[in-house]
A = this chain, B = another copy of it.
Amino acid sequence: MVGSGDDGTHGSPFAPPPWIQPHSSTLPATGAWRPGDPLGQRQFMKMAVDRPFVLEGGGQLRDITVAFETWGRLNADASNAVLVCHALTGDSHASGPAGDGHPTPGWWDDVVGPGRPIDTERWYVVCANVLGGCQGTSGPASSRPDRPECYGPDFPVVTMRDIVRTQARLADALGIWRWHAVVGGSMGGMQALEWGVMYPERVARLAAIATCTAASAQQIAWWSTGRRAIALDPKWRNGHYYDAEPGDGPHAGLALARMVSQVTFRSDDVFTDRFGRSPVDPLAGRFEMWQRFEVEGYLDYHGGKLARRFDANSYLLLTKAMDLHDLSRGRGSMHAALARISAPVLSMGITSDILYPEYQQRELADSVTAAGGVAHFHEIDSPNGHDAFLIDHQQVAAALVPFLESTHHE
């Protein structure tokens, strides 16, 4: 029986057992990759330091490092480069196995690789950790210029446009003037769309999956609850937790933020099929407050897993960046913003997505067309919810492969 004090650490039937708050006495205060950690497949670009990088939200950064990975070979005229943009908790490791420096296999390993839909024998694929992230690119867990301490909560608010500008600098450094394609799902799709609007001449094709032209009120509501979960954790310490002892970081708050989002990432159907009402622990004739159903064990697992590999302040920053995502901001109107896109747009939506509902991707395609562009909508028919873009790779491939091969508009 669970939660009834069997382990002697909690005497009341209400007191949550330790797994409720996935602390581990050995868990570092942040799951960020930090200098000195194994590099894995990471490469690094240091952006020029001649003048500060001024962010859209008004903040400034004096030095920026971008961590990225590449696969395949850039051809002589640099015409085969594909930029893959990652989602909220992704990183540069889009493809490849887990290993030193990469706690998990590539987040799109079924899609990116030799002989796979984004075939690295043909395309030169680049994936960069986003600005404000925690896997090698400058973010709250990074040291300040010329000082040992982290930015922590002083890292300025970033937007998709700031992220895309760092990616454009990376493209410059790699000698890529024009991407054959920019591809991304969820937050990655927001970046792909900003690429199309900010640098129309540098994008030959744009594939945006399960994303939106501007965050809706419901999306803001979801992400804001995650931020409040982190702020509620006393171990978050207003963002100053990097010197905390192992096990004393804001893991519980970050895990709770992830649990909420994990529900929005999947669907009612898939939860019913996978978990139903099965208990983790048999009810055994007595009901206890913290007995778990299987779905709760699943959420705890995903919450704890993210706490091991992510940084709470980056979670705050990047969810805020998604809430601030609005292609129309400062551009007159959404129509005017979308009219800047010259690349053909492949917009993909997922039938069961409750976080970025399919109608948003249909609207994206319709709005690009209405603004004079070329757009095609492709439906991913899946019960897997928002995460289908990471799971149903064959359906992603069915639209993505011919789109990458297409020669129109080049």
Contact present for A224 and B299 (CB under 8 Å): yes
Mask, A147-168, CB within 8 Å of B = 1, is 0000011101101000000000
Would you call A260 an interface residue if the criterion is a C-beta within 8 Å of the partner chain's C-beta atoms? yes
Would you call A268 an interface residue if the criterion is a C-beta within 8 Å of the partner chain's C-beta atoms? yes
Q: In whole angstroms, what is the CA distance A157 to B287 when docked?
A: 6
User: Interface size of A by Cβ–Cβ distance < 8 Å?
Assistant: 73
Contact present for B271 and A12 (CB under 8 Å): no
Q: In whole angstroms, what is the CA distance A76 to B253 when docked?
A: 58
Q: How many copies does the complex hold?
A: 2
Q: A214-B277, A286-B58, A287-B324 are in contact. Are A228 and B20 (CB under 8 A)?
A: yes
Residues of B contacting A233 with CB < 8 Å?
232
Would you call A220 an interface residue if the criterion is a C-beta within 8 Å of the partner chain's C-beta atoms? yes
Q: Which of A82-90, A191-199, A288-296 touches B?
A: A288-296
**Measured between C-beta atoms, what is the minimum distance from A247 to chain B in Å?**
16
**Measured between C-beta atoms, what is the minimum distance from A231 to chain B in Å?**
5
Contact present for A220 and B21 (CB under 8 Å): no
Q: In whole angstroms, what is the CA distance A220 to B276 when docked?
A: 10
Would you call A44 an interface residue if the criterion is a C-beta within 8 Å of the partner chain's C-beta atoms? no
Q: A20-B228, A234-B234 are in contact. Are A268 and B14 (CB under 8 A)?
A: no
Would you call A183 an interface residue if the criterion is a C-beta within 8 Å of the partner chain's C-beta atoms? no
The one of B16, B218, B259, B324 that contacts A225, using a Cβ cutoff of 8 Å = B259
Mask, A5-16, CB within 8 Å of B = 1, is 000001011111
Contact present for B287 and A58 (CB under 8 Å): yes
Residues of B contacting A36 with CB < 8 Å?
none
Q: Which of A306-346 contact B (CB under 8 A)?
A: 313, 316-317, 320, 323-324, 326
Tell which of A10, A14, A159, A224 has the most Cβ of chain B within 10 Å: A14
Contact present for A320 and B289 (CB under 8 Å): yes
Residues of B contacting A39 with CB < 8 Å?
none
Residue of B at shortest CB range from A303? Answer: B228
Contact present for B263 and A218 (CB under 8 Å): yes
Would you call A49 an interface residue if the criterion is a C-beta within 8 Å of the partner chain's C-beta atoms? no
**Measured between C-beta atoms, what is the minimum distance from A269 to chain B in Å?**
9
Mask, A340-358, CB within 8 Å of B = 1, is 0000000000000010010
Would you call A35 an interface residue if the criterion is a C-beta within 8 Å of the partner chain's C-beta atoms? no
Q: In whole angstroms, what is the CA distance A59 to B287 when docked?
A: 8
A-B contact pairs, 9 of them (CB 8 A): A12-B239, A14-B238, A20-B228, A20-B231, A57-B287, A216-B277, A224-B293, A229-B256, A277-B326
Interface set of A (CB-CB < 8 Å, partner B)? 10, 12-16, 20-21, 56-59, 152-154, 156-157, 159, 214-218, 220-222, 224-225, 227-229, 231-234, 238-240, 252-253, 256, 259-260, 262-263, 267-268, 271-272, 274-277, 285-289, 292-296, 299, 313, 316-317, 320, 323-324, 326, 354, 357
**Extra contacts besides A14-B239, A157-B287, A157-B288 (18): CB < 8 Å:** A12-B153, A13-B157, A16-B231, A21-B232, A57-B287, A59-B287, A214-B277, A216-B272, A218-B263, A218-B267, A218-B271, A220-B277, A224-B296, A225-B259, A225-B299, A229-B232, A268-B357, A354-B354
